[in-house]
Amino acid sequence: MADQVSPGAGVGACLASGLLRTLNFTYDLATLPFYTLFQMPWRQAQARRKSFSVQLDPSDPYSPWKAKNTWEPEFFEGITTVDQLTRRAVKRFSDKRCLGTRQVFREEIETQKNGKTFKKLDLGDYQWMTFKEMDDALERLGRGFMSMGVRPKQNVVIFADTRIEWMLAAQALLRLNVTVATLYATLGEEAIIYGLNETEATHLVTSQDLLPKVVKSLPQINSITHIVYMENPGSEESPDPVQGINLYSWTQLLEMGDNADEELRGETPTGDDVAILMYTSGSTGMPKGVMITHKNIVTTAKGFASLVVMENSPKRTERFIAYLPLAHVLELASESVAFAIGAEIGYSTPLTLTDRSTAIKRGQKGDSALFRPTFIAAVPLVLDRIKRGMTEAAHARGRFAGALFDWAIAYKIGWRRWGYDTPILNRLIFSKLRQAVGGEVRLIACGSAPLSADTHYFIEAVLGCRVVQGYGLTETAAGATIMEQCDVTKGMVGCPLRSGLIKLADWEEGGYHATDKPNPRGEIVVGGDMIAKGYYKNNELTRESFREENGVRYFYTGDIGEIRPNGTIKIIDRKKDLVKLQFGEYVSLGKIETELKTLPFVDNVCVIGNSFHTYLVALISPNEKNLTELAQRQGKTNLTLEEMCKDPEISQYITDRVIEHGKKVKLSKMEVPSKVKLCHEEWVPDSGLVTAAMKIRRKQIELFYDEEIAAMYGLARTSSKSA
């Protein structure tokens, strides 16, 4: 056969492999005493024995848990509002750089061979605003808003992607004690209409790009009278007037502030005033408006800031890169922390974040490489893609390069588990890989969804930084738990946030109880000053989820957790993701999806269960590059994505790999999907199939693929999709 390896080549490979293992062992043996002396690996063993939280009443399994370490940064003393936090930062860091954004000289459209078009940006350096300059801008914007009729305690909606103007508008409005209602820029028309009508807002802040989307929805919106649009960078075109609407550009808003009466001022907010009316991304239906107070935001920022402050050196400038949606509570909390510690905030987008991002022109630097952030907020999907991208790039350079990369990763992770670092590999291999995110990242805070242990180990090894997981929800202002700096566990989300409480409630249907042995399990209930006021105009749902108990406000999350012996929490299930199969077995769909997302050909996945059947099925949004490589290995060239997804041999291969992977990660037989459907449609927020944070919208996916799901279960169904 043409691909047969000769016996001589096989012997040579074995000898080379044996020689490398011998050299490796000799090097380890020779250097181990020195590394032990200077790296002090016993500190990690001590950290593994450390306990991070304590139960208030150990004799009561339903008693709350609190963090052992209650230290808080002095900066927050006496602060209860976002306005106070910002003003104190301005006073402390007046002349330091605060907010930065890159110059955009022009846009170009690039068409690829497959017909897809991408917007490419010609970008310059970051342009900066100091804390004092930001403060002056907030005053101008505040007077501008009031000149156009905005008044304290009314709702003003911001509907835009993350950018410097978003934060300036929000800070200016919060200073006036105006409630900022946030809508994801990726929401569909129906959700936009719903949110704007429910808030009864008269004033809307949006971007020039999104203005057409707003204008299209206006006939079904009752209250909007004023719209402020943020101009497109580098664009000289102005939008057409909108009938019946007072339309202003961002520049005009600032000019109105310059010409306004100096006496035109709002009112001073209190900690109990609603700062943000944050609409969820709608993973289970229409978005819900969560009323987040000033005190909620400050409490979470205080808990997160302690993590960064303990890591920070007084002589070092922290740099935070902002690219997640500011309409997402994790990004809002992270930027609040950055303000508090005087960090530079450099604005970015997922399309310009790295050198390989789709909007970066060949030869130009991505935002991370230029800005060189020191700490980052991330969601698991972003870290999974970094891992996949690095692995694919290494293997694309050839078999030897791929094997060397895999060995280096495994070698470093192995030694890190024992508390050692690998300085030579860091210099020869990993220092170059760190440049993908600027080369100076020391801390990545990950939230929004579970992070797999494999990705956690990989990112820490490659980027040489600390990855901490946290857990929180919009209803808890992003704050519930966070890993301590010395917590070396993986697959956990840390201990209760400082000043917060966590307790467990039994869930009989799922078989989880706070009295379970060896570890208590149950629905996670979060308590403390980070708990929101409730759901906007929805008293029934508020009463169901928010409760006052013994003077503490609690939120019942619907997530199932397990408290480990060291006082950290592991998310093990979710009420809404639990499905009972035909024989009465309960399976957690979210748990299975987390495991399947680590497969190289999976970009996203939705697992489906049916109580009338004994098995699960899976809908997979595939990674097009890896699927194309698979097709070519099977001799199938020049296929479109749709053709590859419908090819029986490719589908069977993927199904076999899913079953094989399920066994490898120790899923039970009933948890492994028996049938798989590859989906060629794009799972992006605009499609309505995923949220802005790329979480699947399970019900929408089930409706969209109703016919395909029925076919996998052997049922007949009439297609609900148009041709």
CATH number at residue 674: 3.30.300.30
Q: Cα separation of 393 and 111, whole Å?
A: 23
Q: How many domains does the chain have?
A: 3
Residue 563, in any domain of the structure = yes
Closest CA to 578 of 531, 510, 644, 486: 510
Q: Cα separation of 258 and 218, whole Å?
A: 30
Cα atoms in the 13 Å half-sphere on the side-chain side of 2: 0
For residues 446-454, give the mean pLDDT.
83
Q: Contacts for 396-401 with beta carbons within 8 Å, 24 or more apart?
A: none
For residues 265-293, give the mean pLDDT.
86
Q: How many CB atoms lie within 10 A of CB 490?
A: 17
Question: Which two three-digit tokens encode residue 257?
Answer: 């502030």
Percent of the chain with pLDDT over 90: 55
Q: Please check whether residues 563 and 602 belong to one and the same domain.
A: no
What kind and span of H or E run contains 400? helix 399-417
Say which residue the tokens 């999976």 belong to.
602
Q: How many H-runs (helices) and E-runs (strands) does the chain carry?
A: 23, 29
**Quick one: 517 exposed, middle or buried, by C-beta within 10 A (0-12, 13-18, 19+)?**
exposed
Closest CA to 406 of 437, 429, 432, 427: 429
Residue 589, in any domain of the structure = yes
Instruction: Write down which residue in 574, 597, 623 finishes a domain.
Output: 574
Q: Please check whether residues 567 and 609 belong to one and the same domain.
A: no
Alpha helices, H only, 440-501 = 453-463
**Hey, is 386 helix, strand or coil?**
helix
CATH of the domain at 530: 3.40.50.12780
Q: Cα separation of 395 and 385, whole Å?
A: 15
Q: Which of 21-25, 121-125, 412-416, 709-713 comes out lowest in average pLDDT?
A: 21-25
Instruction: Write down which residue in 551, 574, 597 finishes a domain.
Output: 574
Residue 622, in any domain of the structure = yes
Residue 400, pLDDT score: 87
Q: Please check whether residues 525 and 589 belong to one and the same domain.
A: no
Q: Please check whether residues 339 and 480 belong to one and the same domain.
A: no
Question: Which two three-digit tokens encode residue 295?
Answer: 């005190």
Instruction: Show the CA angle centred on residue 7, arms to residues 4 and 8, nearest 5°.
Output: 120
Q: Please check whether residues 191 and 109 belong to one and the same domain.
A: yes
Mapping DSSP onto H, E and C, the string for 37-81 reads HHHCCHHHHHHHCCCCEEECCCCCCCCCEEECCCCCCHHHCCCCC
Closest CA to 608 of 509, 696, 720, 722: 696
Instruction: Write down which residue in 531, 552, 574 finishes a domain.
Output: 574
Q: Per-residue confidence at 16, pLDDT binned at 50, 70, 90?
A: low
Burial readout 102-124 (b: 16 or more C-beta within 10 A, e: otherwise) = bebeeeeeeeeeeeeeeebbebe
Q: Could you read off the pLDDT of 381-406 as tens digits, one per residue?
A: 888 888 888 888 888 888 888 888 99
Residue 486, pLDDT score: 85
Residue 688, pLDDT score: 80
Residue 409, in any domain of the structure = yes
Q: Please check whether residues 597 and 514 belong to one and the same domain.
A: no
Residue 673, in any domain of the structure = yes
Question: Which two three-digit tokens encode residue 269?
Answer: 């907010």
Which residues on neighbouring strands pair with residue 376, listed in sequence order? 444
Residue 513's region, left for phi above 0, alpha for psi from -120 to 50, else beta, is: beta
Q: Please check whether residues 391 and 534 belong to one and the same domain.
A: yes
Q: What is the mean pLDDT of the chain?
A: 88
Q: Cα separation of 558 and 574, whole Å?
A: 6
**Quick one: 25 exposed, middle or buried, by C-beta within 10 A (0-12, 13-18, 19+)?**
exposed
Q: Please check whether residues 297 and 384 belong to one and the same domain.
A: no
CB 675 within 8 A of CB 652: no
* Domain interval for residue 183: 75-346
**Hey, is 432 helix, strand or coil?**
helix
Reply yes or no on whether the pLDDT at 723 is more than 50.
Answer: no
Q: Please check whether residues 593 and 525 belong to one and the same domain.
A: no
The residue that leads in pLDDT, 2 or 642, is 642
Q: Please check whether residues 592 and 569 belong to one and the same domain.
A: no
Q: Per-residue confidence at 5, pLDDT binned at 50, 70, 90?
A: very low
Residue 413, in any domain of the structure = yes
Phi and psi at 116, nearest 5°, equal: -75, 145
Q: Cα separation of 710 and 241, whole Å?
A: 49
For residues 672-694, give the mean pLDDT.
86
Q: How many CB atoms lie within 10 A of CB 328?
A: 25
CB 204 within 8 A of CB 156: yes
Q: Could you read off the pLDDT of 568-605 as tens digits, one per residue?
A: 999 888 887 777 776 666 677 887 888 898 888 899 99
Instruction: Show the CA angle centred on residue 338, arms to residues 497 and 385, nearest 5°.
Output: 80
Q: Which residues contact 624 (CB under 8 A, 6 or more apart)?
A: 641
Q: Which residues contact 313 (CB under 8 A, 6 or more apart)?
A: none
Reply yes or no on whether the pLDDT at 421 is more than 80.
Answer: yes
Q: Cα separation of 582 and 120, whole Å?
A: 51
Q: Would the pTM of this model clear 0.85, i.e. be above it?
A: no
Reply yes or no on whether the pLDDT at 76 is more than 70.
Answer: yes
Phi and psi at 296, nearest 5°, equal: -55, -50
Q: How many CB atoms lie within 10 A of CB 440?
A: 16
Q: Per-residue confidence at 328, pLDDT binned at 50, 70, 90?
A: confident
Question: Which two three-digit tokens encode residue 258?
Answer: 């310059």
Angstrom distances, CA of residue 15 to CA of 19, 21, 410, 593, 711: 6, 10, 21, 41, 52
The residue that leads in pLDDT, 4 or 195, is 195
Residue 355, in any domain of the structure = no
Percent of the chain with pLDDT over 70: 93
Reply yes or no on whether the pLDDT at 61 is more than 90.
Answer: yes
Q: Per-residue confidence at 451, pLDDT binned at 50, 70, 90?
A: confident
Say which residue the tokens 């890896």 belong to.
626
Q: Please check whether residues 570 and 607 belong to one and the same domain.
A: no
Q: Cα separation of 186 and 173, whole Å?
A: 23
**Hey, is 659 helix, strand or coil?**
helix
Instruction: Show the CA angle centred on residue 282, arms to residues 524 and 689, nearest 5°.
Output: 115
Cis peptide bond upstream of 314, omega within 30? no
Q: Per-residue confidence at 6, pLDDT binned at 50, 70, 90?
A: very low
Residue 3, in any domain of the structure = no
Q: Please check whether residues 112 and 144 belong to one and the same domain.
A: yes
Q: Cα separation of 547 and 134, whole Å?
A: 39
What kind and span of H or E run contains 469? strand 466-471
Which residues on neighbouring strands pair with residue 365, listed in sequence order? none
Name the strands in the sheet holding 226-230, side by side, starting at the edge strand that comes first in the sequence: 246-249, 226-230, 203-207, 155-159, 179-183, 274-279, 289-293, 534-535
